Amino acid sequence: MRPVPRRRLTAALLTTVTALAALLAAGLARPAPAAAHDATSTAYVEVKGAGSHLEATLDLEYDLLMKSAWLYAEAYDAKGRAEQLRQLRTNAGAVTEYVTGRFAVTRDGHVCTPHPVGDADVRTRGTRPFAVLSLAYDCPGGADGTYTISSALFPDSESFVHSTETIVHYDVDGQRGSQVLTAAEPTLETAGHHESHQIAEFFLLGTEHLLFGLDHILFLLSLLIGARCLRDIVRTATAFTAAHSVTFLLAATGVVHVPGAVVEPVIAASIAVVALAGIVLRDPEASGRWRLPVVFLFGLVHGLGFAGALGIDTSWSWELLLSLLSFNVGIEVVQLAVIAAVFPLLVLLRRMPAHRWVLPALTAPIVIVSLYWFVDRLAVVA
């Protein structure tokens, strides 16, 4: 077998270090994805009903909602559920005006009239507080009709966030489905549901979630750095995939529920544990004993984190399963792409004498960032 030229090894080393440094710089610039409010946001909407009466339940990030309604800092900086509920009651008119102005339902081209139902609530998704609003819609027309649901919540023009997505789950007049509304495609028709469109949307949502979910990417990189051979990475990637797929499906369908306040800090801790173990336990036999069970255990927790990204709170249906499977496949595609891009470079790196100090040097920032996230997420929960 011909030796690999030193230039190729050096280039591989520089490429690997540059890629990891870029990811870690992003992590330090945006240290806690679970608590960040200045990048992107997702709104979650569930619409149910029949005939001329519908009801929509909207989950909207609390501080973003209060900023978008142009309220004072006292409202959007409110901490604690009790104070946030008080602010929502005090500013109910402004909040309702904002939401009804940017989320609309029509029936056969006629605007359905919204009005609030009960008081707003607050619940936690991940470690972020979300305001929960219920709106009833009275729609003109007879017994039959086609509904159109539109969202322009939290647009780029407001400058608080960008690229907002609204995930809508609906069960209207026997029509069930899910769709992701964006600035480019802000509208859905309940009678125009196509499975192929739903598959593509949730597949893309899955790829985005893993690609831009830096904590999950760093966990995967920690697995790659600790792997000694192709068999190692195949076994650990399989264990991770199996584990997170199980809890993702169970959590997303409501069979299992674990609060984000527990899940998010554990995800951060899992990165540090796997990264450290991959460097400290250099003996292949010792590494083999801990690797699969630990990766499988943490994979279960990461699956709960993936489920939280969809915000599903609907009953079981085949349409729901289609969305979940499409989302999960999107995650797996990105995971395989990362492995295919990074692992060969790390294999080349291990053939160089410098790997004894380079790999620990790459691992140290991963550990520091993940421990920072862990402490920060605990502080947010507290």
Residue 7, pLDDT above cutoff 50: yes
Quick one: pLDDT at residue 25? 45
> Measured between alpha carbons, how far is 267 from 14 in angstroms, rounded to an integer?
29
Give exposure, 12-26, as e/b (b: 16+ Cβ within 10 Å).
bbeebeebbeebbee
- Which range among 117-121, 195-199, 293-297, 348-352 shows the weakest confidence by mean pLDDT? 195-199
Q: What is the pLDDT of residues 227-257, one digit of tens each?
A: 777 888 888 888 888 888 888 888 877 778 8
- Alpha helical stretches, state H, 46-169: 62-68, 73-76, 81-90, 92-102
Structure tokens at 224: 């790659």
Task: Answer yes or no: is pLDDT of 16 > 60.
Answer: no
334 phi and psi, to 5 degrees? -65, -40
More confident residue, 1 or 307: 307
Question: In the structure encoding, which two tokens stand for residue 355, read together?
Answer: 């790997």
Integer Cα distance of 92 and 98 in angstroms: 10
Strand partners, 147: 107
38 pLDDT band, cuts 50/70/90, is very low
User: Tell me: the pLDDT tens digits for 346-372?
Assistant: 888 878 887 778 878 888 888 999 998
Q: What is the pLDDT of residues 154-209, one digit of tens each?
A: 999 988 888 899 999 888 887 888 888 999 999 998 876 567 777 887 888 888 88
The pair of structure tokens assigned to 68 is: 């978008």
More confident residue, 284 or 349: 349
| Helix H or strand E encompassing 223 | helix 214-226
pLDDT of residue 27: 45
Torsion of CA 351, 353, 359, 365, to 10 degrees: -140
Torsion of Cα atoms, 341 then 347 then 348 then 351, to 10°: 170
